[in-house]
Chains A and B, each alone.
Chain A
Amino acid sequence: MARRTVTIASSVGLHARPASLFVQAAAETGLDIEIAKKGEEPVDATSILAVMALGAEHGQEVELTAEGDGADAALDSLVELLSRDLDAE
């Protein structure tokens, strides 16, 4: 299983537009991807409601996990996405 930790760069946290972009990108990988805040239950990264309900704020760390072929590459691209201030773009 592939695993990455990343700090949310988006100034509004992981909701609104950033959440929407992240969920779409996760769904496009076609893999089972989960996202969790430190010490919390992981949730489905392709569910907009679950990702928003996570309530990940700017500056918080989240952990991404994925299974299957291309999991490492998929997580790398998602980490890159979360490291940008998506709301400012």
Chain B
Amino acid sequence: MAEPSSATLSGARVGIGVSPGTAFGPVVQVAPPVRPPAGEPAAADPEAALVRIKAAFEGVAQDLTARAATADDTAQQILTATALIARDKGLIKAATKHLSAGKGPAAAVDAAVEDYAAQFTALGGYFAERVTDLRDVGSRALARLLGVPAPGIPPFSVPSVVVAEDLAPAETATLDRSLVVAIVTQAGGRTSHTAILAAQMGIPAVVQLPGATRIAPGTPIAVDGDTGEVTLNPTAQYVEDLVVRRRRRTAALVGSHGPGVTRDGHPVALLANIGGVEDAVQAAALDVEGVGLFRTEFVFLSSERAPTVAEQAEIYRQVLTPFGRRRVVVRTLDAGADKPLAFANLGPEENPALGRRGLRLSAERPDLLDSQLEALAIAARDTGADVRVMAPMVATAEEAAWFSRRVKENGLPKSGVMIEVPGAALRAEHVLAEVDFASLGTNDLAQYTMAADRMQGELSDLLDPWQPAVLDVIALACRGAAVTGTPIGVCGEAGGDPLLALVLVGLGVSSLSMAPSKVGIVRFALSLHSLPECQRLASLARDARTARDALDVVRAEARTGLTEIL
């Protein structure tokens, strides 16, 4: 991708919109980690250099301690422990050793940090995770030593647009929603964690914006999280238009509520994707018909041992209760080599995305699946909730049958499968005969159909759910579902794109699950179009030659009441 020249720094540029909404505000740049300068000369006066190094580490420790004082419990413990690292005598000793060996002060600090990082990496597991904290301390000390901004998000008090190379999930999750009006990143992809979390939090976001990190802090920018358009130093007119569009959109959405239904009365359930108890409480308060995807990984990932049935049942009760009689579709544990579990590690794999993940891990460790199903059955009984359980990464009819039998044996009424493997979509008629419902995981389905790693932002074009090949695979799965009479929904990010939602409904999908912030616009889109119109749009999209053409033709043919507010 060509880097824009500085001449375009005042104009507009386009990334990928991943979380809807528009915003306007000054830029806050997230500073990258600090590295020692290349070819730094040896310290002329090692004694003086050591004094500066000690002062740098002490400054970092004081910073962290001050931040700990105002943080909540969990953050406080982490910050206090990190301050201890900054005050560590061993670190100073190692730096001293490197100084006398002829390194410059910055290089000595870096080498001291890397000495310990190597030790911790070798120890593995919990220690390897602490390497991030250690390097963060080193990077902060380097920043003080070199007189450059500290890495991470600088403190700010005016509502702003946060701009970064990329944001770690933890950084995104701890953003203050009242101060962050939008997020823009140079890297990241449409299904990166930043994108998913931003949509979950209702913050407009654009990823893959060329030259994002070179925008000067404080520059006023306008962000359109739907089109991916970012405008630097926008004219008053542009901001005005943006505000008008936002107002029109808000006005359009105000009159739209209740269950999802097409203009001619065909119901399409509108559901929320959630990943934990907090999400559940928030989503349940909104106008959604239930949950189409409850990711249960969090129950397992933070734990060093397998959670007990009782512990799990308690968490599931907390998730189910807020939804009352509304449906909650639970996806069983989707772990694997890329999301390893401390207690069910099957070892490293060359290709984790193609390895023993999802249901394949459950086949190796049926005890984990059984304890999860047992806990879900207990929680369902205690709360009277409408619980439906589905398995991730199902490829064959045998797998679907195996899973369904276990679900029923545990006393749960409804079993389903995710359709994210193209093989399962091609053979949907046989796979779906074994279960009560199916849900298309469009992110993984696109990844596997186009053979493009969804974690690679550079491959975003291939991962575009508008790719006609992906639409064809979805159409095949829907045809199989029609033969067996099995309801089929979508729970990938594609379901939250109002234009694509029309196409999916036209292909035969009967429910759409998405980040809750996207439900309103999708409901509105459906209310303007009849089922035959959706079918026509679907057929136009599948006839297109490229992803771009598919989007363009649907945008051109959809009703203007929708397209004028997108």
Q: Hey, which bits of chain A sit against chain B, CB under 8 A?
A: 12, 15-17, 20, 23-24, 44, 46-50, 52-53, 55
Contacts and interface: CB of A to CB of B under 8 A. Distances in A.
A52 B90 contact: no
B306 to A, nearest CB: 15
Contacts, number: 44
Contacts of A47: 88-91
Nearest to B123: A55
A12 to B, nearest CB: 7
B89 A20 contact: no
B504 to A, nearest CB: 45
Given A12-B304, A44-B90, A49-B90, A55 B85 contact: no
Binding site secondary structure of chain B: helix
A17 B79 CA distance: 11
Nearest to A46: B89
Contact of B88 (A12, A16, A24, A48): A48
B77 A17 contact: yes
Given A20-B80, A20-B84, A46-B89, 18 more contacts: A15-B127, A16-B81, A16-B126, A20-B77, A44-B89, A44-B90, A47-B89, A47-B91, A48-B88, A49-B88, A49-B91, A50-B90, A52-B120, A52-B130, A53-B119, A53-B123, A55-B123, A55-B127
B81 A53 contact: no
B252 interface: no
A12 B304 CA distance: 9
Contact of A53 (B80, B84, B89, B116): B116
B134 interface: yes
Interface residues of B, number: 18
Interface in B102-143: 116, 119-120, 123, 126-127, 130, 134
7 contacts: A15-B130, A23-B84, A24-B84, A48-B85, A49-B134, A52-B127, A52-B130
B273 to A, nearest CB: 32
B134 A20 contact: no
Given A12-B304, A20-B80, A20-B84, A49 B116 contact: yes
A16 B134 CA distance: 13
Interface in B277-304: 304
- Which of B90, B126, B127, B304 neighbours the largest number of chain A CB atoms within 10 Å of its CB? B90
A55 B123 CA distance: 8
Contacts of B127: 15, 52-53, 55
Contacts of A50: 88, 90
Q: Lowest 7 A-B CB distances belong to which pairs?
A: A47-B90, A48-B84, A20-B81, A49-B88, A50-B90, A49-B90, A47-B88
A53 B123 CA distance: 8
Nearest to B81: A20
Nearest to B130: A52
Contacts of A46: 89
B85 A53 contact: no
Nearest to B127: A52
A53 B304 contact: no
A42 to B, nearest CB: 13
Contacts of B134: 49
